[in-house]
Chains A and B, each alone.
Chain A
Amino acid sequence: MSRRRRTGTRHETSAPSGAPDWLTSEVEALLEEWRPSDRKLLGELLEDARTELQREMIHRVVVARHACAEVHAFADTIRALDDEALYQQCTIDPRRTDVPVTARFRAEADPLYAMELNGHLLPPSDDDPGPVYGVVPRARPAFRAPPALLLPPEPPRVGAPPKPSFDSESSSARARPLATHLELGASGEDVPSVRRSPTARASGADAGANVEALNEALRGLGLSFRDHEVDTRELPLEHALELAAQALQNGIPVPVTLGREKGDRGRQVLMLQVTPPGRTRAFQLHDPFAHETVWAHEKDLLSRAELPFDHKQWRRITAIALPNHPKRR
């Protein structure tokens, strides 16, 4: 089943008339960054929504800066729910003690995140390999809060806790989405609110799982990759770049992981090209999440201090997936 739809119907992508002003303006601002086709799809999803609550939830997911594909999956998932079930799935039970405060705040602003915390996962993928950007399904990791952020079993309260309500949006007690959600709970290794790549965990098991996904997707093309941490005794960054250049010269793009410091696995990008031998070497990097493509001089990569992406938090290459047979065509 392909979730993508194309019809010639009306496409209204503004916030619902009853939505608070901040939500309306946030949605409108964000939609300017979306591709026209994605805006059109959102309009269709809003049209298909059966209740005002469903429409508001979809807008909240947009405001939480989820990708169009996620908004699509979310809208498809909630369409069958009545308002009560939707409210329950998107609300964190106040009695739960395994959800840290930061995650709780984020969940109030981001229904999709709340659904995931409540164990309602969006369908991972279909049997069909999907469009060109089709992907390999992976199981989502269970949420585990870091001990330091856990609530006490019986939190002291003064009076009854306010019941979260999506109808009381204008209330000042309602959590508002922050300008960026990336830092919510970012201090914890296990808090899933931090944007991370599949190999984002320090454990080699996760890295291996991602390379398995890569290899599964590339099996038809006769390619396989192996994940390597760089700046280790076995693989200094200088040597990793040399191997990457060899692969690129043979027409094989190279996935690399960027991070703030050694060992940090922040975001995966693709090395697409390298300049021909004989000149100062530069690598072309593509960030599929920010849709940003840059050329980076080798010396800038080796400085391990800054990369030419807009997001300056990813300073250096921390891991690389090298093809097992870089010279194989």
Chain B
Amino acid sequence: MPAAGRSPLSAPFAHRELNGEILLEELADLREADVRQRQLEECAAALKSLSGLRATEAMAKLRQLASGRFQSQPALAGLLLRWAAKLRTDADVTALAQHFRQLAIVGALIGVLRRGDRVVGGALR
């Protein structure tokens, strides 16, 4: 759950499924687009530096990341831009950085779990 800052979270960041169903859908889309785990972790690390920035500053920084460092990954860049457009309050910035961190963690965990099951059980479904 995103932590609330001084200003209230806007609706997209206060959504109950932000780090649940929404996160899983984003992860599936990134997987579909062949985004690598390492890139996701780099993105999460880049967004960590957003914490403390004002919403407008963070928005500009996200756009910069999307058109620069992650330009070669349209799916990831698109995700950054979509979230950038939703930033309204300063608390949203922290919630977004946390969301991307969780995206990276869940991606890594699911990868290990899935491979682990395949290796031992021989079947996934």
Which A residues contact B (CB, under 8 angstroms)? 2, 4, 37, 64-67, 69-70, 112-113, 116, 124-125, 128-141, 181-182, 192-201, 206, 210, 213-214, 217-218, 220-221, 223, 248-249, 251-253, 255, 267-270, 272-276, 284, 286, 288-290, 293, 329
Within 8 A of A (CB), among B20-46: 20-21, 23-24, 27, 30-32, 34-38, 40-41, 44
Question: Across the interface, do B119 and A133 meet the contact criterion of CB distance under 8 Å?
Answer: no
Task: Name the A residues within 8 Å of B16 (CB-CB).
Answer: 273
CA distance A192 to B117 in the complex (A): 11
Please give 17 more A-B residue pairs, beta carbons under 8 A apart, in addition to A132-B37, A132-B107, A221-B44: A37-B32, A65-B125, A67-B118, A132-B31, A132-B40, A133-B114, A135-B111, A135-B115, A206-B120, A213-B115, A251-B98, A251-B102, A268-B117, A272-B106, A289-B113, A290-B125, A329-B98
Residues of B within 8 A of A133 (CB): 27, 31, 37, 107, 110-111, 114
A252 vs B113: C-alpha distance in the bound complex, in angstroms? 16
Contact sample, A vs B, 22 pairs, CB 8 Å cutoff: A65-B125, A67-B118, A116-B122, A124-B115, A125-B115, A129-B36, A130-B111, A131-B35, A132-B37, A141-B119, A195-B117, A195-B121, A197-B121, A210-B112, A213-B115, A214-B109, A251-B101, A270-B106, A270-B113, A272-B20, A274-B1, A289-B114
Q: How many CB-defined contacts (below 8 Å) exist between A and B? A: 183
Complex: how many Å from CA A64 to CA B23? 30
Task: Give every chain B residue within 8 A of A130 (Cβ-Cβ).
Answer: 36-37, 111
**B123 and A135: CB pair below 8 A?**
no
Number of contacting residues on B, CB 8 A?
A: 44
- A220 nearest in chain B by CB position: B41
Give Cα distance in the complex from A273 to B23, angstroms.
11
Would you call B19 and A273 a contact (CB within 8 A)? yes
Given A132-B31, A217-B111, check contact A272 B23 (CB 8 Å). Answer: yes
Q: How far is the CB of A292 from chain B (nearest CB, A)?
A: 11
A268–B113 touching, CB < 8 Å: yes
Q: Which residue of B lies closest to A113 (CB)?
A: B122
The answer to whether B1 touches A198, judged by C-beta atoms less than 8 angstroms apart, is: no
Name B36's closest neighbour in chain A (CB-CB): A129
Asked if B116 is an interface residue, CB under 8 A from chain A, the answer is yes
Nearest residue, chain A, Cβ from B26: A132
**Min distance, Cβ A297 to any Cβ of chain B, angstroms:** 15
Asked if B84 is at the interface (CB within 8 A of a chain A CB), the reply is no
Q: Is the interface of B mostly helix, strand, loop or mixed?
A: helix
Q: B112 contacts which chain A residues (CB < 8 A)?
A: 135-136, 198, 210, 213-214, 217
User: How far, in whole Å, are A293 and B23 apart by their CA atoms in the complex?
Assistant: 12
Q: Smallest CB-CB separation from A30: which chain B residue?
A: B125
Q: Which residues of B contact A195 (CB under 8 A)?
A: 117, 121, 123
> Which residue on B lies nearest to A33, using beta carbons?
B125
| Given A66-B124, A134-B36, A221 contacting B104 (CB threshold 8 A) | yes
Docked CA distance A34–B69 (Å): 34
B13 CB, nearest partner CB in chain A, Å: 13
B120 contacts A192, CB within 8 Å? Answer: yes
- State whether B108 touches A218 (Cβ < 8 A): yes
Take A220-B41, A221-B41 as given contacts and tell me if A134 and B111 are in contact as well, using a CB distance cutoff of 8 Å: yes
Question: In the complex, are the beta carbons of A213 and B109 less than 8 A apart?
Answer: no
Interface centre among B34, B104, B109 (most CB of A within 10 A): B109
